[in-house]
Chain A
Amino acid sequence: MRTFLLRRLAAVPLTLAGVSILVFLATDVLPGDVGRTVLGREASAEAVALYNRRLGLDDPVWLRYGRWLGHFLTGDWGTSYTLREPVAALVRDRLVASLTLALFAFVLLVPVALGAGLVAGARHDTWLDRVISATGLALGATPEFVTGVVLLVVFSVRLRWFPVSAQAGPGDGPLAVLGHLFLPALSLVLLCTGYVARHVRASTIAVVDGGYVRAARLRGMPPARVLSRHVLRNATVPATSALGVQLQFLLGGLVVVELLFNYPGLGALLLQSAVDRDVPTLQAAAMVLGLAYLTVTLLADIAYRLLDPRVRLAVTA
């Protein structure tokens, strides 16, 4: 396990360096002009050129990258070209917001998706299995902006049970914050449940049809105990990877939900900074998101190894 961890941790800086180079090169070939974005269409060409020159945007790409990397590694993440706010604070606030929503959605997702998958697998090829599978498939195929709008119209606008915006006020307590986050989290849970439940269902079927489960049944073990003792753990292990993938999506792929529910997360910041060619913000957001992705992947792998002794044995053998 230690060798495995060291190898994976050693790969992190290399991966992030690759990400930073790719993002930097991508922003360099994008059309557009930072000075024009900041000063507007009606600013004179001289003013735009002067602005770009002051930011050092006339320099060669390798020089700009080197300058950015030097500052970034020493903790100076710079100032947003467009918003003129410190990038570190901007990214930190957005990261906290994204993590809060992602973790809340994940906490809702895990029991719902595992439960649905287990029930569908344990009762496979029955009407219950078909209903769960078809519902999960349909919700997974429905874009989150559709489910989001429907949830908003029904629960916020019509019934007024939940606020329209996912942003809580400055003085709101934890319960109010969760109330604000519930609908966006629910729209994400509806989107992700089908994917995870399918994995759990497939592994549950394999486990349920396995020899040791049949043997337990033949020994007269009660069905509930068979499920909890033999099926549950073995069936959920393969779902760990699926859950890891979903957590990665929840951390950075929420642009649509963030826009619809007016939530200031990292995804929307990444999109906007890319559109505006706001390189310091874009690079910092990409680095933080990349690190979050790598962390989640690592944690998923560790969880997989801890849950499945065969994998552990294979490593130590």
Chain B
Amino acid sequence: MDRRQLLSGIGASGLAALLSACGVGEEAEGGTEGSASGGPPKRGGTLRAGSPPPPTAVDPVTMYDGTAIAIVQLVAEYLIWLDKDFKLVPRLAESWQSADGGKRWTFKLRPGVTFSDGTPVDAETVKASFDRLLDPGSKSAALSAFATVLKAGGVSTPAPDVVEFALERPFSDFPYLVSAGNYNAVILKRDYAGDFTKAGIGTGPFVLKSYNASTGAALVRNERYWDPGRPYLDGVEIKFYADDQADLLALQGGDIDVQLLSRAALAQPLAATGAIDLDTVNGTGVTVLTLRTDLAPFDRKEVRQAIAYALGRPAILQSIGSGVGDLGNDHLLAPLFPAAPTDLPQRALDKAKVAELLKAADATGLRFTLTFEAPDKDYAVTIQNQLKQAGITVELDQRSSKDFYGGDQTKDTPWLFTPANLVAWAGRAVPSQLIIPMVKSGGTWNGSKYANPALDAAADAYDTATTDAARKAAAATVAKILHEDVPLVITYWSGAVRAYQGKKFRGVQAHPAQYVDFGSVSKV
């Protein structure tokens, strides 16, 4: 353990305890009062936000880290915003509809929208943004999101204010793929050339005034913003903090007003003292225990089920997930997804069932190796301890993140080829973004090597469903199959928190994907 890890380790408990012991927070009593105060929003003020420095350049096309996404979301916009309840909110698109059984989608653009430099937004601009992402030479992660659904050449402009997408196959959740749920899909100027931090132009509520890769970013109100009266703030300042504790101390000490990417384990103890405010949401992020269904001992369904029955999910959610999120039920339909089944019995700890299943599989005294990366160590140790109580021995194989995700992605990378591993998945806007790559036969990230024609058919049925009822029926089938076959053990779905100073600003909200929408934030 190096100093940084130790520093990080003392953060969750030690720092909070130290702050509490020093009486820090007593002065801030009533901190939530501000957030609850009513009245019309006040104009003016600069919101100071803290966030880790982006590990790479801030480029909407290739970005994948939370800070870069947040900066871009303050400056640029999507056709549709994805709100904290996973509802679609029109932004640059006013309305949308499908035809040909969900294979063709048209979006009508909001009239009168311009970029912050005065350039009008039209259908050609939107087409150029998607063509850029769909270019096979593009380095965007959006290519993976659009895989098998939309390819280059599929976007057209039947009218100056209408964009049409011709899909490769019917896809009922397609609006989610052009929403913030596909975070690279922001609408940029036609001549965008990868220089976002040099000329940070968008249609969003703020304009990027300056950017420094070491220190942070400054944004000012976009006076040309299409929503009259918004944003209420004069600007946003983002300071980079390479260390979580420094970020939290800055919030505590008043150097910043909000964290863009809060960690529940660190922020909750301080929020409990009243020193800061916390908004909490459930989410679709998940850390999955993947079991290779093509290798012994996990080629026996009973063994996989035994592991699933040996885990105490509420305890894991509380200790590893900080109590923020939903219980998992070994399928990929998170409760936050509108089509999630509600009648599937919740799997719970059942040691008698574990013994019975292991005996049936002739696997009593089961022993296996669990591979994981350093950030999931606590979860791995918890699994080891809980399975030990059920008579299953787990040997831990910790790898560095570079090693874990390194190697040949088609042959030997540990996160896709070890017999049992823990992989953390960022939240997704639609279940298909999890189901297709993770458990469909031959999926790109199918680490369990699971292959089941019935599941493939149900996943296809979900994508082609044209009614809510049909979509829910298909989702129920997918969930039931995964729950029964257990290629993946899912004990909980991660929620998200956002810590802020409620006595200074209101309207700050958490988001399942840590997205940022400060258009409605105002001074108290």
Contact = CB atoms under 8 A, between A and B. Distances in A.
Return the 5 tightest CB-CB contacts between A and B, nearest first: A32-B402, A40-B64, A164-B253, A84-B57, A264-B214
Interface stretch (A14-22, A201-209, A212-220, A253-261): A253-261
Contacts of B400: 31-32
Interface string A120-141: 0000000000000000000000
A255 B140 CA distance: 32
Contact of A82 (B55, B137, B254, B408): B55
Interface string B383-405: 00000000000000000101101
B141 A42 contact: yes
Contacts of A40: 62, 64-65, 141
A158 B56 CA distance: 35
Given A39-B62, A143-B3, A164-B255, A149 B242 contact: no
Contacts of B3: 143, 145, 255-256
A100 interface: no
Interface in A79-98: 80, 82-85, 90, 93-94
Contact of B246 (A41, A255, A259): A259
A32 B55 CA distance: 14
B241 interface: yes
A160 B253 contact: yes
B125 to A, nearest CB: 24
A38 B56 contact: yes
B7 A259 contact: yes
Given A31-B406, A43-B139, A256-B7, A153 B254 contact: no
A262 interface: yes
A37 B406 contact: no
Interface string A248-272: 0000000110111110100011001
Contacts of B6: 145
Nearest to B237: A169
Contact of B250 (A45, A93, A145, A165): A165
Given A31-B403, A32-B402, A43-B144, A276 B55 contact: yes
A79 to B, nearest CB: 10
Interface string A157-193: 1101001110100000000000000000000000000
A157 B242 contact: no
Contacts of A50: 137, 139
Contact of A153 (B18, B56, B246, B409): B18
B143 A83 contact: no
30 contacts: A32-B406, A33-B402, A36-B406, A40-B62, A40-B65, A40-B141, A43-B144, A47-B138, A80-B213, A83-B54, A84-B57, A93-B214, A143-B3, A149-B245, A156-B249, A156-B253, A157-B24, A157-B249, A158-B22, A158-B23, A160-B253, A164-B252, A164-B253, A259-B7, A260-B245, A262-B239, A262-B241, A262-B250, A264-B240, A276-B55
Nearest to B253: A164
A255 B255 CA distance: 21
B254 A160 contact: yes
B440 to A, nearest CB: 16
Nearest to A154: B22
Contacts of A42: 64, 141, 144
A51 interface: yes
Interface of B: 3-4, 6-7, 10, 15, 18-19, 22-24, 54-57, 59, 62, 64-65, 137-141, 143-144, 213-215, 239-243, 245-247, 249-250, 252-255, 400, 402-403, 405-406, 408-410
Contacts of B57: 82-85
B213 A83 contact: yes
Contacts of A47: 138-139, 143
Nearest to B138: A47
B132 to A, nearest CB: 14
Nearest to B243: A259
A255 B4 contact: yes
Contacts of B19: 153, 157
B391 to A, nearest CB: 35
B60 to A, nearest CB: 13
Contacts of A45: 408-410
A44 interface: yes
A152 interface: yes
Contacts of A160: 253-254
Given A255-B4, A268-B242, A164 B249 contact: yes
Interface residues of A, number: 52
Nearest to A146: B10
Contacts of A158: 22-24
A152 B253 contact: yes
A163 B255 contact: yes
Q: Which of A36, A41, A163 has the most CB of B within 10 A?
A: A41
B491 to A, nearest CB: 22
Given A157-B24, A256-B4, 5 more contacts: A30-B402, A83-B57, A163-B253, A164-B254, A262-B243
A158 B249 CA distance: 11
A90 B403 CA distance: 28
A33 B255 CA distance: 36
Contacts of B245: 149, 260
B191 to A, nearest CB: 19
B25 to A, nearest CB: 9
A38 B62 contact: yes
A51 B137 CA distance: 10
A152 to B, nearest CB: 5
Given A42-B144, A153-B18, A259 B139 contact: no
A152 B249 contact: yes
Nearest to A276: B55
Contacts of A38: 56, 62, 139
Nearest to A30: B402
B4 A37 contact: no
Nearest to B255: A164
A153 B22 contact: yes
Given A85-B57, A165-B255, A259-B246, A145 B7 contact: yes
B405 A36 contact: yes
A122 to B, nearest CB: 36
Nearest to A85: B213
B14 to A, nearest CB: 8
B24 A153 contact: yes
A160 B27 CA distance: 12
Q: Which of A80, A158, A262 has the most CB of B within 10 A?
A: A262
B311 to A, nearest CB: 25
A44 B143 contact: yes
Given A43-B141, A262-B243, A262-B246, A94 B406 contact: no
A45 B141 CA distance: 11
A85 B56 CA distance: 10
Interface in A43-78: 43-45, 47, 50-51
A51 B240 CA distance: 27
B64 A94 contact: no
A285 to B, nearest CB: 12
B406 A33 contact: yes
Nearest to A39: B139
Contacts of A37: 55-56, 402
Given A82-B56, A83-B56, A143-B3, A149 B15 contact: yes
Q: Which of A40, A152, A258 has the most CB of B within 10 A?
A: A40
A94 B214 contact: yes
Contacts of A90: 213-214
B22 A31 contact: no
Interface string A289-306: 000000000000000000
